[in-house]
Amino acid sequence: MPGIIDPLTFHVDDLPGIWSPVQWEQTKEEQIMELETQAAASLMLSVDIPEAMLRLILNETEIVSTRTPPEGYDETEQGEWDDEIVTFKFKKGIKLETMKRENDHLLAVYNFANNGTWAIEVTPNRVVIEKI
């Protein structure tokens, strides 16, 4: 169920991660599905590491196609929005509320739509993720 940390949904094995692009003819439906799969992976790589961790463990990685910029989009940082380009965003928004960084400590607090407020604390020897 999205929005909670469910240890039973964590896939764990000792196999190395691999990925291969599709190398065969696809139907239009298969092409769309492959594009969405690749978009989800690329979108995960485009966000901050703490946000990606939260999205993965809360199972909130669903994406949607968009013609309008998501809330918080900054054209000066991210470039001018072009509604003619196929673009994806996460279905559920997340907002960084607080970020405190010191030499060996990071605290990031996120407000995650209907999932509440979550803190991620990182030190050289420990990572703590908790709902606050």
Residue 63's SS3 state is strand
pLDDT for the residue numbered 120: 94
Q: Is residue 56 part of a domain?
A: yes
pLDDT digits (tens, 9 = 90+) for 19-30: 766 778 889 898
1 found inside a domain: no
pTM for this one? 0.80
Q: How far apart are CA 93 and CA 89, in angstroms?
A: 9
In a domain, 2, yes or no: no
> For the chain, which residues score pLDDT lower than 50?
none
Residue 88, domain extent: 7-131
Pair 108, 95: CB distance under 8 Å: no
Residue 95, phi then psi, degrees to nearest 5: -130, 130
How many alpha carbons fall within 13 Å on the CB side of residue 41?
A: 9
Instruction: Please give the tally of structural domains in the chain.
Output: 1
Three-state DSSP at 99 gives: strand
pLDDT value, residue 97: 95
